[in-house]
Amino acid sequence: MAKPEMEFTDTLPLGQWRQVEGAEKGVFEKILSWDPDTGNLTRLVKFASGVRIPKTQVHDFCEEVFILEGYMVDTAKKLTAPSGYYACRPVGMIHGPYEVPVSCLCFETRYQDPARPLNPGCSLYGMKPE
């Protein structure tokens, strides 16, 4: 199985915004597509004003993020990332912590490293889009 074939569509019927499981309060997601065989997904992530991600992050999957609206601040790098900024994070790349003074909306893809064999133990499999 793979991600579903989908022509341009309104995202409203694709699902409601939901609090990201295990994330700080005020971090919401809307899953746009998901492949249950790999765990690979595409989603919108919305951070409410005042959200703080106090710890560095590291993943066992690749992540790409494009900021659509608002901005976030990488407090370790003292870098402000406004709309139009993009990040590509291979497996194991350390990033954060972050502060979100004003709400921020991101387009994000998460996928297993295509250079490696599929890993059924990858944490992406634990995500259950509803």
pTM of the model: 0.88
| The total number of structural domains that make up the chain | 1
* Domain-located, residue 97: yes
Query: For residue 10, is it within any domain?
Result: no
- The CATH number for 58's domain is 2.60.120.10
Residue 124 lies in a domain: no
Distance CA 107, CA 66 (A): 5
Over 70: is that where the pLDDT of 13 sits? no
84 token code pair: 């139009």
In sequence order, the 6+-apart residues with CB closer than 8 A to the CB of 16 are 30
| Structural domain of 37 | 15-113
Chain segment 71-123, per-residue pLDDT in tens: 999 999 999 999 999 999 999 999 999 999 999 999 999 999 999 999 989 99
Domain membership of residue 4 (yes or no) is no
**pLDDT tens digits, one per residue of 36-80:** 888 899 999 999 999 999 999 999 999 999 999 999 999 999 999
